[in-house]
């Protein structure tokens, strides 16, 4: 019989992310019009290295000029809008499943970042925001001085 180690923190993190998305969508309201224009919440990933935090958001169909990125009081906010281009009459649509309209995501940063060096890029529908850590927030290795006998 093989024993599998259970990682409670991984499962709790997954549950927390799913609950956050559920409550964000419920509070934001999904009562759009017949064309599907409504608020929506783009999926995001955040990871950290020794030198930076990186945030990626899935924004297919969003023009970079329609996205605003702000950082204030250690809160990163990304706002924007995906336009619904109605090339057909509304009654000609059989189904509209993609969300359109305004979106906003905010993330509390637990690490101090160097706001002057933040970079953002957009490639194939994915927005990547790189937030370099402030020098004081970077991990440092401390050498132990040998005692002289």
| Confidence at residue 52, expressed as pLDDT on a 0 to 100 scale | 93
- The pTM for the full model equals 0.66
145: its two tokens: 């001085």
Nearest to 41 by CA among 71, 17, 63: 17
Q: Total domain count for the chain?
A: 1
88 located within any domain: yes
In a domain, 54, yes or no: yes
Question: Would 2 be classed as within a structural domain?
Answer: no
| Cα 94 from Cα 32, distance rounded (Å) | 16
In the chain (149 residues long), the average pLDDT of successive 10-residue segments reads 66 74 58 51 92 94 93 92 73 74 90 92 96 81 78
The position carrying tokens 């990682």 is 7
In-domain check, residue 144: no
d(CA 40, CA 81): 9
Is 142 inside a domain boundary?
no
Contact 101, 81 (CB under 8 A): yes
In a domain, 56, yes or no: yes
Residue 143 lies in a domain: no
How high is the pLDDT of residue 131? 95
Tell me the CATH number at 70: 2.60.40.790
Q: Check if the beta carbon of residue 136 is closer than 8 Å to that of residue 112.
A: yes
Host domain of residue 109: 8-136
Q: Which of 21, 23, 2, 125 is nearest to 67 (CA)?
A: 125
Report the pLDDT value the prediction gives residue 104, as an integer from 0 to 100: 92
| 121 within 8 A of 69, measured Cβ to Cβ | no
The answer as to whether 31 is a domain residue is yes
**Amino acid 36: pLDDT:** 43
């Amino acid at each position: 019989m093989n024993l599998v180690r259970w990682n409670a923190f991984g499962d709790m993190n997954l549950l927390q992310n799913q609950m956050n998305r559920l409550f964000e969508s419920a509070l934001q309201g999904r009562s759009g019009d017949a064309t599907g224009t409504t608020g929506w919440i783009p999926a995001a990933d955040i990871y950290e290295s020794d030198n930076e935090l990186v945030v990626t958001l899935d924004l297919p169909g969003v023009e970079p000029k329609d996205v605003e990125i702000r950082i204030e009081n250690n809160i990163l906010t990304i706002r924007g809008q995906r336009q619904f281009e109605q090339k057909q009459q509304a009654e000609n649509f059989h189904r509209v499943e993609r969300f359109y309209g305004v979106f906003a995501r905010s993330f509390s940063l637990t690490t101090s970042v160097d706001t002057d060096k933040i970079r953002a890029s957009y490639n194939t529908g994915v927005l990547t925001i790189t937030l370099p850590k402030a020098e004081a927030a970077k991990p440092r290795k401390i050498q132990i001085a040998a005692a002289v006998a």
